[in-house]
Chains A and B, each alone.
Chain A
């Protein structure tokens, strides 16, 4: 069965500092991986996705993620955090045979940005 683990419930980062959010997955076949962001009071928005190819994926808002098969990880990074990045971030894994409709989400990491 697919599963996603986000080990950090909360992370606080100073504005301008770098950010890394951790995501580990468990999946028997080729994983299709996603990062979504949820701003307060909003629905989720796709930041980036990994299907195949280059293991370093660029996304919107200056985010990137690196797929490491040997570590079963798909960590999200940003070199310099802005106050507007404060939100909850969800990692997810999906299967192509269901058109990526059966996404399994992690429990989320809430990012707090301090001045």
Chain B
């Protein structure tokens, strides 16, 4: 089954404790991206990648890191989480130039 898989789906952590949210897609898509969803703000892009070893900042990259060492994986790293990073995070992938993003089911992160 074609899918984008995120882990963990739910996480409660404390300020400053490094965490990684993994994202993997099995559709051989070239493009991958991370979004955060907050009430009243919709989805905002954190980072995106158009190829292996190529990443670019989205609209809200502060406090986040990403890497794209393999085509299928695009982990999101929070080096020192803060409460304002409490949010619902989505990973998405797409074929080159298609415009159709396939989303994971989301990872709900709470930072205390």
Contact = CB atoms under 8 A, between A and B. Distances in A.
A43 B33 CA distance: 13
Interface residues of B, number: 29
Interface string A49-67: 1010000000000000000
Contacts of A46: 100-101
B97 A99 contact: yes
Nearest to B51: A99
A9 to B, nearest CB: 8
Contacts, number: 63
B99 A108 contact: no
Given A45-B103, A102-B58, 10 more contacts: A34-B99, A43-B4, A43-B103, A44-B103, A46-B100, A99-B50, A100-B98, A101-B33, A107-B41, A107-B42
Closest 5 CB pairs of A and B: A43-B103, A100-B99, A107-B42, A105-B43, A101-B48
